[in-house]
Structure 1
Amino acid sequence: MARTWQRWVPAVAVPAVIAAAVVGGAVSTASADLPDKSPQEVLELAAGADVSAYSGDVEQTSDLGLPDVSGLGSGSSGSSRGGASGDGDQTAADALELLTADHSARVYVDGDAARIQVLDQLAERDVIASPDGVWLYDSKDASAVHVTRGEGAAPDGSAAPETQTLSPADLAQRFLDAVDSSTEVSLGPDASVAGRDAYDLVLTPRGGDTLVGSVSIAVDAETGLPLRVQVLATGASDPAFEVGFTSISYDTPSADLFAFTPPAGTDVTEKDASDWTGDAGDASGHGDSTHPRPTVTGEGWSSVVSIPTGQAGVGDLTSSPLFSQLATRVDGGYALQTTLVSALITDDGRVLVGAVPLGSLQSAAAQ
């Protein structure tokens, strides 16, 4: 399954770990009666999926314990998208709104090209991606961002930012790629998703130092394409996050869907891929001292990502009106907690994130 285009879409949620663990949908789960397979055989079925073209309707819901942030950010000081402070608040508000509200989307994929249409009430957000670049369009404020690959980037787009989309197949792949000895793999009851018979692959963390109870992936019994992802918090019986197809077609989408011309009156911002990665002039993607890389401690489901921002960066975060709505003061910094992910912003300028309890982040910060 071609995924070069996925590296082109700028990340829409902060931090990235939250984006990788949080997107959702209400999907039919009627049972199916399929030939018996072992968990390993279903893993191999998903890993060997060779689906280069498809389209479908996707629905998401989430119950992460975060407040509704719709309306926040746009009314803050300097909230014009051209202002630094307002732009940051608006970006964070948009990202959190994707995590806390229900959404419907239309997904089109053809090889290295993809289009995702997020359908809001009386508005639409589009991401149109290809190996050459990506368009991000928001009809609500008639704005668009055009990110081009740039002359220094690798031909396959590998230096461009990796990201998350609303496709269940994209999200499922992240979990499948992370399967190791810290994960118990089993099968749940056969299911029917978007009219397709599917095996229910269940990933359960071994050990208790994680907020994730299990991840359920519905795998198309014929094609191997993941059709639905459900993430349950520890001790919960209902998904904290779910994303899945409500309809799907394996016909090749029309090429016209991947061509985009901004409507008249759209405010277009041009950017190079290095604006997103911080790797200007370095196609290898190693960055420089002004863009320090995150570090990872721990293993598997209990791993913690630490991102150095500097005290100035922490000051920018904590002065945001949006931040004050979401974070609480704790020993050593500020905490943001959801049912699946915790984040700790330390006073000395670090952001620690993990699918772990807050105490685990505080312990990691103290090391």
Structure 2
Amino acid sequence: MPALLIPLALALAALVGSVQAGAVVSLPPKTADEILAMIARTEVRALSGTVVQTAELGLPEVPTAGPGIVPGATSALELLTGSHTARVYLDGPFKARLQILDRMAERDFVVNGGDAWFYNSADNSVTHLSVPVPSKAERRGSGPSETARPDIPTPEAMAGHFLSAIDSSTKVTVGDASTVAGRSAYRLSLVPRSDGTLVDSVSIDVDSETGLPLGVEVRAKGQPEPAYSLAYTDVNFSTPDAALFTFTPPAGATVTEKPVPMKPLPPTMEDPAIPAPDAPVPAPNEPAPTEPAPSPDALVPTPGAATPPMLPHPSPSVTGEGWDTVIGLPAGTAPAELTSNPLLAQALQPVSGGRALTTSLVSVLILDDGRVFAGLVPLDRLESAATAP
């Protein structure tokens, strides 16, 4: 997948589609802790379904064709505007397929063990990455993360980012039950206790039978409609056909081999605007979901370097806590496509010392010295973090 699409589209999707909820239904009452425990104990390992993502962040529509438009360069930004539909197929922790269905083209992201493929029919291009797969010993030692999904934007993955960040800065309540994708669901509501965040509330619809999150809806302060939502419109819990996870580049396709990417940072680090409390609160009697511990060899290759040939990724800075958290990336660590993409430049506004992207939910500050700051906070909060000693 293009360098920008994975880190930016997935990260920003995790920050915050419209939840397809039906009429209120009657379910046995449950407390917030009981619903959190249902999510922690879900045994869904395979599924197929259709998800709809809707973004109303106040960003302009991104052009996908025309003079100066590079095929594939708009993908991540385009996913942050308007409505998009995708088919999702999952089978265990290491098989996934995401088919983004647009009016003029189709994009496929396929993960099968140590191979990841991204195909864009608009220009018949294929990107192939060889990705590290945890050993059996690592999976045995990783607890609940052994059954984690490949990191694609599903309601379950999105809900997990928010739920892992619950702390004293969040009020958790239970809303009215409803139907999502034809299934009855409990609704959890997360409300920040902070006045410094752009987020008004996050709602998570949880399947009453399996405990799987079926939809996530994020509302911004002062905005009547949801700013961002992602939800299933249909879902089937049977195992998908194994052939769906086998990808062969189409005839005539241009195939690009990408080097093995660095080991992802923990969720609170790779998703700059996700609140990052020091101690996430697990569901009662359940261990909190965790990411696999980075292996010793999960380092970034440095072409032409002497010894050692591998260097670790510089650590981001963290300012504030909870919903007010600001993540800062050191100069040179942000993807080049983030700082130099001409399409992104159209959405940036000039500010003192750099440029900024402001939306109803998230702000990003890109400084002239290469540093990047982001958070679910107003721009002035980022500027204060950037000038802090």
Cα gap change, 1:336/1:10 in structure 2, threshold over 3 Å: closer, same or farther?
closer
Contact 2:51 2:233 in 1 (8 A): yes
Of stretches 113-122 and 316-325 in structure 1, the one that deviates more from structure 2 is 316-325
Contact 1:227 1:245 in 2 (8 A): yes
Cα gap change, 1:342/1:276 in structure 2, threshold over 3 Å: closer, same or farther?
same
> 52, 56, 76: which is aligned to 2:68?
76
1:38 and 2:51 aligned: no
> 12, 20, 31: which is aligned to 1:18?
12
* Structure 2 Cα separation of the partners of residues 299 and 364 of structure 1: 12
Cα gap change, 1:166/1:19 in structure 2, threshold over 3 Å: closer, same or farther?
closer
> 288, 299, 323: which is aligned to 2:344?
323
SS at match of 2:79: helix
2:92 matched to which residue of 1? Answer: 111
* Structure 2 Cα separation of the partners of residues 345 and 26 of structure 1: 32
1:147 and 2:129 aligned: yes
* Structure 2 Cα separation of the partners of residues 142 and 276 of structure 1: 28
Cα deviation code 1:145-194 (max 9, x no counterpart): 111136xx643799xxx985231111111111111111110011111001
Cα deviation code 1:3-37 (max 9, x no counterpart): xxxxxx98535386523224x13513321100000
Q: What's the offset of the Cα at 1:348?
A: 2.4
Q: Considering only aligned residues, what root-mean-square deviation do their CA atoms show, in Å?
A: 2.9
Report 1:1-367 matches (<5 A).
11-12=5-6, 14=8, 17-22=11-16, 24-25=17-18, 27-71=20-64, 75-76=67-68, 79=70, 90-91=72-73, 93-112=74-93, 113-149=95-131, 154-155=134-135, 165-274=152-261, 283-287=296-300, 291-310=313-332, 320-367=341-388
Contact 2:10 2:152 in 1 (8 A): no
- Aligned residue type for 1:99: L
Contact 1:54 1:250 in 2 (8 A): yes
* Structure 2 Cα separation of the partners of residues 236 and 181 of structure 1: 25
* Structure 1 Cα separation of the partners of residues 326 and 35 of structure 2: 29
- Aligned residue type for 1:285: A
Cα deviation code 1:230-288 (max 9, x no counterpart): 0000233321011101111111111111111111111111223237869xxx8543546
Q: What's the offset of the Cα at 1:329?
A: 1.1
* Structure 1 Cα separation of the partners of residues 232 and 366 of structure 2: 35
Q: What's the offset of the Cα at 1:206?
A: 1.2
* Structure 2 Cα separation of the partners of residues 314 and 219 of structure 1: 34
Q: What's the offset of the Cα at 1:200?
A: 0.5
* Structure 2 Cα separation of the partners of residues 205 and 284 of structure 1: 38
SS at match of 1:76: coil
- Aligned residue type for 1:232: R
* Structure 1 Cα separation of the partners of residues 223 and 196 of structure 2: 15
- Aligned residue type for 1:31: V
Of stretches 12-21 and 301-310 in structure 1, the one that deviates more from structure 2 is 12-21
* Structure 2 Cα separation of the partners of residues 68 and 209 of structure 1: 28
* Structure 2 Cα separation of the partners of residues 103 and 218 of structure 1: 20
Cα deviation code 1:82-111 (max 9, x no counterpart): xxxxxxxx53x2101011131111111110
SS at match of 1:323: helix
Q: What's the offset of the Cα at 1:205?
A: 0.9
Cα deviation code 1:279-322 (max 9, x no counterpart): xxx854354668423222211111111112249x8998666532
Q: TM-score, normalised by structure 2?
A: 0.79
Contact 2:13 2:153 in 1 (8 A): no
* Structure 2 Cα separation of the partners of residues 352 and 294 of structure 1: 9
Of stretches 324-333 and 100-109 in structure 1, the one that deviates more from structure 2 is 324-333
SS at match of 1:227: strand
SS at match of 2:343: helix
Cα gap change, 1:217/1:53 in structure 2, threshold over 3 Å: closer, same or farther?
same
SS at match of 2:80: helix
- Aligned residue type for 2:101: L
2:292 matched to which residue of 1? Answer: none
Cα gap change, 1:163/1:326 in structure 2, threshold over 3 Å: closer, same or farther?
farther
Contact 1:165 1:171 in 2 (8 A): no
Show structure 2 runs of 5+ residues with no match: 140-148, 266-294, 301-309
* Structure 2 Cα separation of the partners of residues 50 and 276 of structure 1: 27
- Aligned residue type for 2:367: T
Contact 2:118 2:126 in 1 (8 A): yes
Show structure 1 runs of 5+ residues with no match: 1-8, 82-89
Cα gap change, 1:198/1:107 in structure 2, threshold over 3 Å: closer, same or farther?
same
Of stretches 324-333 and 162-171 in structure 1, the one that deviates more from structure 2 is 162-171
* Structure 1 Cα separation of the partners of residues 237 and 171 of structure 2: 31
Of stretches 223-232 and 97-106 in structure 1, the one that deviates more from structure 2 is 97-106
